[in-house]
Amino acid sequence: MKALPLSEPVMLVVLSLAEQPRHGYSILKDVERMSSGRVMLSTGTLYGALRRLLAQGWIERFAEDESPRDRRVYRLTSRGRRNLQVEVERMRHLTRLATVRVARREA
C-alpha cells in the first residue's frame, strides 16, 4: 500500500469522509474546522487528493438526486476505512513510542 503514510491534508480529508459522506465544499470547511483553521485547502489541492483517493479505491463518489449536476458526494469505501484503521494504528504506535522515549529521557 504505497499511499501510506498519509500527509496531513489527505488524512484530514479521509477523516472528514469517515464521519459521513460529503461534497467538495463541505470537505473544505470540515478540514478547516478540524484543524482549527491551520489547514486550509485550495480546490486544486482538494481535488488532486480526491482523484488519488478515488484511483486507489479509498473513496467513491455518487450524485445526489436533488443536487446540481456538478455536485457529487464522496464517501469512504470499506477498503478506505480499513486503510484508515491501519494508518490510525500506525500513528497510535508512533505516539506510544514517542511518549515512552520522551518519558525515559526525562527520567
Partner 1 sequence: MIHLYRCLLHLYPAAYRHEFAGEMALVFLESERVVRRECLATRIVFCARELSGLLSGALREQTRTLVGFYDCVPFGRFDMRPEFRFPRSTVFLMSVILAAVVVAIAKATSIELKYGATLETVWPSLPWFLALMLGLVCLTVVIGWGILFAMRRTGMHRLANLQNGHEQR
Query: Is 18 or 61 the residue whose CB approaches partner 1 more closely?
Result: 61
State how far the Cα of 5 lies from the Cα of 1, in Å rounded to an integer. Answer: 9
Piece of 14-22, 35-43, 98-106 that binds partner 1 (CB under 8 A): 35-43
Positive or negative CA dihedral for 23, 24, 27, 28?
A: negative
Those residues with Cβ within 8 angstroms of residue 1's Cβ, 6 or more apart along the chain or in another chain:
83, 86
By CB under 8 A, residue 24 contacts partner 1: yes
**Encoded amino acid at 15, one letter:** L
By CB under 8 A, residue 78 contacts partner 1: no
Cβ proximity of 34 and 9 under 8 Å:
no
Query: Is 30 or 106 the residue whose CB approaches partner 1 more closely?
Result: 30
Report the site for partner 1 in 80-99 (rule: CB under 8 A).
86, 89-90
Positions that interact with partner 1 (CB under 8 A): 1-2, 4-5, 7-8, 23-25, 28, 35, 38-48, 50-51, 68-72, 86, 89-90
